[in-house]
Amino acid sequence: MSIHLGAARRAFASYRGAPLGARAFVAARYVVAPLGPLAAELHGRTGRVLSLGSGLCMLERYLAELEPGLTFEGIDLDQTKVDLLAATHARSPRVSLDHGDATEFHRPGRYDVVLVCDAFHHFPPERHAVVAAAVAEALVPGGVVVVKDLDTGPAWKFHWNRIHDRLVAGPEPITCRSPADMAALLADAGLVVERAERTEHRLTPYSHYLVRARKPA
């Protein structure tokens, strides 16, 4: 599934009036992130989605345009982003963003989907297992988690990703996992891994992977 231009335009328009830097960041995400595979994972699903480390919720607003049966609840540490989403909420009413630490949440049995997009590598490595356990707890039986994150290969893309991430997010250390490592982390949390593979994005120097795991019914 490739990017849906109409949905992308509508989602981008929801940031009208936001600072120029925020709108530029949202526009850049359409180029960097492999939206097609993520959209395919959520296609036809219904229910509540929890998104960790959501940032400006560009992905969530795009997916909300595509999937009318889904509502999205994000968590992010940046109060400025929370305020921006609140100010433009009326233009994308099925997407909300709460202020909080995505590595310290407790919302048992509430969600049909948990989405973790480009966030795990920002979490302290000692919190990865804690987050995976909280994700498993947050899912309803039969619910799924979809993780998209920076891949550790090929090497040149991995190093470019690290440089780019530091330029955008700042100097804090990041910890990237391979698809196999992420799959093992989710399996250790009691989830059944259904997909773990590299997501090629040939038009850019960015390398991503996607892992999907399900909570046993």
> For residue 162, what pLDDT is reported?
63
Distance CA 135, CA 191 (A): 10
Distance CA 117, CA 121 (A): 10
Considering only CA atoms, which of 212, 205, 209 is closest in space to residue 31?
Answer: 205
**What residues of the chain score a pLDDT lower than 50?**
none
Tally DSSP H helices, then E strands, for the chain.
8, 7
> For residue 31, what pLDDT is reported?
74
Residue 113 amino acid letter: V
Q: What is the DSSP string of 103-135?
A: TS---TT-EEEEEEES-GGGS-GGGHHHHHHHH
> For residue 188, what pLDDT is reported?
98
Distance CA 175, CA 151 (A): 11
Domain boundaries, the chain: 5-214
- Are the CB atoms for 135 and 189 separated by under 8 Å? yes
User: CB neighbours of 27 closer than 8 A, spacing ≥ 6?
Assistant: 12
> For residue 159, what pLDDT is reported?
59
How is residue 68 annotated by DSSP? T
Query: What predicted TM-score, i.e. pTM, was given to this entire model?
Result: 0.89
5-214 classified as CATH 4.10.320.10: no
- CA distances to 89, 125, 132, 189, 211 from 129, rounded to whole Å, are 32, 8, 5, 7, 15
> For residue 165, what pLDDT is reported?
60
User: CB neighbours of 197 closer than 8 A, spacing ≥ 6?
Assistant: 179, 209, 210
Q: What is the DSSP string of 146-164?
A: EEEEE-S-SHHHHHHHHHH
> For residue 96, what pLDDT is reported?
97
Q: Cα-atom radius of gyration of the chain, to the nearest Å?
A: 16
